[in-house]
Structure 1
């Protein structure tokens, strides 16, 4: 049996976006190509009875957003060939090649079929006329860098860069047969098309709560009357809430949304709400004190959408909940009645209703990277139909992972997982690895990085301290304005528990690492204790004062998460790890993406400079063309390098 290594990333595949159609299951399959240094996706169908598979769309077209046209003639998808913008393509379900329908210069972000399948509404953008004229006049100077004039509060976004303001954002309608194109809706700012009514009389789209006031946080759903060209906010009864459309029943009189009322700011639990369009009522429907949606964190899944909110009948629906490190399913109805219908130790990553109570799903668990399966929520039976990694799993050693609970600060119950070294050894080193967020959680999902660390001989302590999701509103909100206090205590008590329960861990060789919030906490930990042999801080926060003005979410995050304003600099400094740099003796490796706009590069640089000043052994590794999501979706060769650098740093101090 072989060990799982960093290069195992190139041997593994994940499946996503299952779609049921007349006895066949369509789905996407994604892999990472080492030579091409990119992610490649193809589209397949599977016969659930014979398990025969057919490839429909090759990796060359890199498909996403699979759909079946309502008239059952077409398989549609966004095609994104190498170095090209996404365009809408269709394939006849009776057989034949793909045809690209659009040639939008700025590409397509999303699309919706009309109810009769004759046309497609899609969203794109277009450069303004003045910018087009400027580009033509200055074609010879196109390679020269141009200045950027910024007037907006939110002017950049991680993974995207500076937000272009020289565009109009549009919804267009394309007749599939005649290719006639018409402009339906246009705005000067980004918005998101979510629904086209059956008679095409209205659209639903998401826009800012107050487009005229950039200091108002949040976005919600608007109804647009196509004939009158008028919009109104659907969720006006919850004025501060942010919501998104999910599904409508067959009668098209009751709509389901997910979102929250912002009562606990960023960490308010999302819930299912119902909108009766005729009565104009909007009310909460899902189980109390549960977070609707997928808050589990991992590093392997690609192009997954999460298990959907989906109607079962005209009155009942199913929805996902993150609970204690797994994805549960609840059945709800229009009256607000709720029943738990599925609760297993797995991570449901996607789904689509096949019939009645049976779904096509993709899922992962601690030692299962990704599979396609059927799930009957009535009988609870889950049947694997296709495992793209079956051969890999049969020939590699997966770590044994133990789930546990312990008492944190204030005697709160805290959940954790201990990933044991793949090869059992006495006196082995261990790593406390802290997740980001903090309003996400570790859970029952495959984590490649942890597996390859276990193969290298490390035990990994994975904890969900207060501030994480899946344990109720009080738990996730308890961190507001209190970073580095009881969450820190939860983590230290968790390490104590792991060392007691696993005496085979060498107490002198315990390390700490984390990214984002986990990077903040790593910085905080080494400033408050010397118990760890070495540390690695990634995409971290070190100084909340500079973070306020440099992060793409800085001003809002500081206000709502830390419950502070910029004029409270003394308080912000006390909450900043950099304020305790003089206490640090632990060797610290700093890892940061050069294009990280969520936790900007300067945060890591400040920590590195402080370590130099302290005379602490340190390095900083900056990754080019890398945003905040480097460890999950970055350039493959850089992901690989990062994994090797982490092992090398810890090996140095064993």
Structure 2
């Protein structure tokens, strides 16, 4: 049996976006192309004899849907020369894919009309004639949110369009235009109304604030389904005969506030209905908040109707994805609760789903889920041959008492080769409002194959453990979250005497990078550290991150007018205490935690004569470890193990 290696990224595949058309199942499969240094996503139909290719020759076929009448699959493809994503359809029975759009700016999201005769989609209006200036021109900024991670400057004015294309004739009609930032969600009332989520972040000085709105196609009028208060958000989920389902965020705890799902009964354009909170008694985080590094093209479990009175929805609970059935009268039922990471699902019947999923030892698979028994039956495992010849380590799930006697969950992945004593790495996740969970993590498997034990902990501030747990970090970064992590390391040393206390290492990215910086400036127990896409100085982060002003105010509960407190909470302020050799890894296109954050930590450590090295990754955003260029993902993994080996015994 072979050990898992860093280069195995190119051998592993991921399945996602399952859909059902009659008795047929379609899905996407993503792999990395080593020669082209890209990701490739293709569409397949599942059969008992194997997978049958669908889609076209584009390197990315995604956003897979089925027409309401079950006759067509639809998808977005980048097949053209300019690689602009365009909308295409293909008969479920096979044949050539048909292009429906030729949008200069491409298609972002789309929705089938209820009669299957047309498709509604969102695009960006192209300038009639894009000017190519002979000389560089100044960039004028007039919005609060003017940049976004991985990209460049956002335009001050940009027109979003919603259009309708007829399937039979390809005739395109523009239905709505706006300079507001919107996300198209649905079409209602026989095409008379569109539903959009309108972003409010530039209006309200808050991150992730939106209101679901009706758009009258005849007049172009736009008005909220429910009026959102100053800190509130309403996002559209589903339509029903009696009203609409919305995701409601009160904003009480900033953007770590858990969402409630509400039913706006008998609400119509222009008038509110009666509002029923369907989840007020459930202290869970709706959606998928599990962190992993091999889940490309996944969409999560999208809300969908099981019958006229109930719908399917997923929640992240204690590192798992749990499926719920919510009823319009306020009842709820847990349909599935096991230690797996469901990455996509579609209803076959009231008792059966087709899903894509992962576990800590299974990268990805297409399967059927029996809701009466909870049994998962695999249909297709794209990595079956790979797993048959490689050693996969099974992590141990553990619970210990953290600060103030709180229950803290974690996973310990032992090294592949057993020794009397071995090294271990504390690996801190990002967010902090995400969570480790029951999902495959290639990086951790590769580290275990290199001889390291890997300690993965969800300290306070992580998602999936309820509102009090996730909000407890607000205004308290680097305090009791630090305690939870150190007590977790102590717990592993107590329960695993084979872990050498003199061979401990620490690594993390984003919030995990902040915490790595904080750890090396507050303790010397680790032999070496790797900080990635980190935060080192909250004062500069406030003004340079694409979410800095919102994040600092809502997470640290302070702002730029109190620089003393922000400085005290900044790792770079304590760098004079550091002795631990530090490797700084940062993407040059990272606008979430900008490159200057890594540079500040690097220079502060050098000033303190601590062994420090910095590696910068070109064309790399904040998501380098998950969606970055394949060759750079490999280089990143190699840099981490090389650094730890340099400072091993």
Aligned to 2:68: 70
Aligned to 1:57: 55
CA distance in 2, matches of 1:258, 1:217: 13
Aligned to 2:407: 413
Is the counterpart of residue 34 in structure 1 residue 34 in structure 2?
Answer: yes
CA distance in 2, matches of 1:443, 1:94: 39
Equivalences for residues 249-264 of structure 1 within 5 A: 249=240, 252-264=241-253
Contact between 2:505 and 2:644, CA under 8 Å: does it hold in 1? yes
Task: Give the match's secondary structure for 1:127.
Answer: coil
Aligned to 1:102: 101
Contact between 1:294 and 1:327, CA under 8 Å: does it hold in 2? yes
Contact between 1:248 and 1:311, CA under 8 Å: does it hold in 2? no
Is the counterpart of residue 274 in structure 1 residue 274 in structure 2?
Answer: no
Change (3 A) 1:68 1:97: same
Change (3 A) 1:492 1:46: same
Task: Give the match's secondary structure for 2:169.
Answer: coil
Contact between 1:127 and 1:167, CA under 8 Å: does it hold in 2? no
CA distance in 2, matches of 1:358, 1:559: 45
Aligned to 1:553: 547
CA distance in 2, matches of 1:133, 1:258: 39
Contact between 1:578 and 1:610, CA under 8 Å: does it hold in 2? yes
Aligned to 2:83: 84
1:240 shift after superposition: 2.7
- CA distances 1:30-85 after superposition (whole Å, capped 9, x unpaired): 101111100001101113xx354211125535211111222333221100137511
Task: Give the match's secondary structure for 2:443.
Answer: helix
CA distance in 1, matches of 2:318, 2:203: 40
Change (3 A) 1:210 1:484: closer
Task: Give the match's secondary structure for 2:163.
Answer: strand
- CA distances 1:393-434 after superposition (whole Å, capped 9, x unpaired): 110001131000000000000000000001112211100000
CA distance in 2, matches of 1:274, 1:435: 34
CA distance in 1, matches of 2:189, 2:20: 21
Comparing 177-186 and 499-508, the one that deviates more: 177-186
Aligned to 1:248: 239
Equivalences for residues 313-462 of structure 1 within 5 A: 313-462=307-456
CA distance in 2, matches of 1:630, 1:133: 31
CA distance in 2, matches of 1:211, 1:271: 24
Aligned to 2:138: 147
Equivalences for residues 631-650 of structure 1 within 5 A: 631-650=625-644
- Structure 2: runs of 5+ lacking an equivalent: none
Task: Give the match's secondary structure for 2:186.
Answer: strand
Change (3 A) 1:202 1:237: same
Aligned to 2:616: 622
CA distance in 2, matches of 1:216, 1:433: 28
CA distance in 1, matches of 2:219, 2:377: 50
CA distance in 2, matches of 1:133, 1:586: 52
CA distance in 1, matches of 2:454, 2:622: 23
- Among residues 180, 190, 193, which one is paired with 1:189 in the alignment? 180
Contact between 1:128 and 1:167, CA under 8 Å: does it hold in 2? no
Change (3 A) 1:559 1:197: same
Aligned to 1:511: 505
1:217 shift after superposition: 6.0
Q: TM-score, normalised by structure 2?
A: 0.96
Comparing 601-610 and 420-429, the one that deviates more: 420-429
1:317 shift after superposition: 1.6
Change (3 A) 1:224 1:161: same
CA distance in 2, matches of 1:597, 1:237: 29
Change (3 A) 1:570 1:15: same
CA distance in 2, matches of 1:630, 1:28: 22
Is the counterpart of residue 581 in structure 1 residue 566 in structure 2?
Answer: no
RMSD (Å) for aligned C-alpha atoms: 1.6
Change (3 A) 1:525 1:211: closer
Equivalences for residues 7-18 of structure 1 within 5 A: 7-18=7-18
- CA distances 1:494-553 after superposition (whole Å, capped 9, x unpaired): 000001111111111100000000000000011100000000000000000000000000
1:146 shift after superposition: 3.3
CA distance in 1, matches of 2:391, 2:546: 41
Is the counterpart of residue 126 in structure 1 residue 117 in structure 2?
Answer: no
1:215 shift after superposition: 5.8
Aligned to 2:496: 502
Is the counterpart of residue 177 in structure 1 residue 177 in structure 2?
Answer: no
Give the length in aligned residue pairs. Answer: 642
CA distance in 1, matches of 2:55, 2:413: 38
Change (3 A) 1:216 1:80: closer
1:392 shift after superposition: 0.5
CA distance in 2, matches of 1:562, 1:353: 42
Aligned to 1:467: 461
CA distance in 2, matches of 1:372, 1:2: 25
CA distance in 1, matches of 2:505, 2:488: 14
Comparing 75-84 and 279-288, the one that deviates more: 279-288
Contact between 1:274 and 1:283, CA under 8 Å: does it hold in 2? yes
CA distance in 2, matches of 1:210, 1:535: 36
Task: Give the match's secondary structure for 1:102.
Answer: coil
CA distance in 1, matches of 2:603, 2:238: 51
Task: Give the match's secondary structure for 2:180.
Answer: coil
- Among residues 516, 530, 542, which one is paired with 2:524 in the alignment? 530
1:89 shift after superposition: 1.0
Aligned to 1:23: 23
Contact between 2:145 and 2:202, CA under 8 Å: does it hold in 1? no
- Structure 1: runs of 5+ lacking an equivalent: none
1:270 shift after superposition: 2.1
Task: Give the match's secondary structure for 1:312.
Answer: strand
Change (3 A) 1:420 1:83: farther
